[in-house]
Amino acid sequence: MSTDPLRVLSVIPPMTQLNTPYPSTAYLTGFLRSRGVDAHQTDLALALVLALFQPSGLDAIRQRADALPLKQRSPSVQAFLADFARYRRTIGPTIAFLQGRDSTLAHRIAARELLPEGPRFAALEQYEDDGSGDPLAWAFGALGVQDKARHIATLYLDDLADVIRDAVDERFAFVRYAESLASSQPSFGPLAQALAAPPTLIDEILQRLTLQAIEQHRPTLVLLSVPFPGAVYAALRIAQTIKAQHPEVHIALGGGYVNTELRDLREPRLFDFVDFVTLDAGERPLLALLEHLQGKRGRQRLVRTFVRNDEGQVQYINLAEPDVPFEDVGTPTWDGLPLDRYLSLVDMLNPMHRLWSDGRWNKLTVAHGCYWKKCSFCDVSLDYIGRYETATAQTLADRIERIVEETGQTGFHFVDEAAPPKALKALAEELLQRGLPISWWGNIRFEKTFTPELAQLLADSGCIAMSGGLEVASDRLLNLMKKGVSVEQVARVTKGFSDAGILVHAYLMYGFPTQTVQDTVDALEYVRQLFENGCIQSGFFHRFSCTVHSPVGLNPQDYGIELIPLPPVTFARNDIGFVDPTGVDHDALGTGLRKALYNYMHGVGLDEDVRAWFSHLPHPVPRPTVKKHRIARALQTSSSAP
Question: What's the pLDDT tens digit per position in 112-148?
Answer: 999 999 999 987 765 544 444 455 554 544 457 888 8
pLDDT score for 126: 57
pLDDT at 289 over 50: yes
602 or 501, which is more confident = 501
Positive/negative CA dihedral, 371, 376, 377, 381: positive
Structural domains in the chain plus CATH codes: 7-44+179-328 (3.40.50.280), 50-167 (no CATH), 361-640 (3.20.20)
SS3 of residue 478 by DSSP: helix
Show the DSSP H helices in 177-231 as ranges: 189-196, 201-217
Does this model's pTM top 0.75? My answer is yes
Between the CA of residue 251 and those of 83, 241, 320, 509, 555, what are the distances in Å? 43, 11, 23, 38, 37
Identity at 591, one-letter amino acid code: T
Gyration radius from the chain CA atoms: 25
360 — pLDDT class (breaks 50, 70, 90): confident
On whether the CB atoms of residues 150 and 359 are closer than 8 A, the answer is: no
β-bridge mates for residue 442, sequence order: 414, 466
pLDDT score for 128: 46
The mean pLDDT value for 37-48 works out to 97
On whether the CB atoms of residues 156 and 115 are closer than 8 A, the answer is: yes
pLDDT at 500 over 90: yes
Can you tell me the distance from the alpha carbon of 491 to that of 530, in angstroms, rounded to the nearest whole number? Answer: 7
39 — pLDDT class (breaks 50, 70, 90): very high
pLDDT score for 134: 53
pLDDT score for 176: 85
Lowest mean pLDDT among 118-127, 290-299, 572-581, 588-597: 118-127
On whether the CB atoms of residues 470 and 546 are closer than 8 A, the answer is: no
Q: What is the CB neighbour count within 10 angstroms for residue 211?
A: 16
Question: Any idea of the CA torsion for 589, 590, 594, 595, to the nearest 10 degrees?
Answer: -40
On whether the CB atoms of residues 561 and 582 are closer than 8 A, the answer is: no
Q: Residue 228 contacts by C-beta under 8 Å, 6 or more apart in sequence?
A: 16, 175, 176, 179, 256, 257
Lowest mean pLDDT among 124-128, 162-166, 376-380, 463-467: 124-128
The mean pLDDT value for 462-476 works out to 93
The mean pLDDT value for 33-39 works out to 97
pLDDT at 250 over 70: yes
Can you tell me the distance from the alpha carbon of 182 to that of 190, in angstroms, rounded to the nearest whole number? Answer: 8
Can you tell me the distance from the alpha carbon of 28 to that of 436, in angstroms, rounded to the nearest whole number? Answer: 25
Q: Which helix (H) or strand (E) holds 92?
A: helix 84-98
Question: What's the pLDDT tens digit per position in 508-564?
Answer: 999 999 999 999 999 999 999 999 999 999 999 999 999 999 999 999 999 999 999
The backbone torsions φ and ψ at residue 503, rounded to the nearest 5 degrees and listed phi first, read: -65, 135
pLDDT score for 308: 98
Chain-wide mean pLDDT for the chain? 93
Can you tell me the distance from the alpha carbon of 450 to that of 444, in angstroms, rounded to the nearest whole number? Answer: 9
pLDDT score for 142: 46
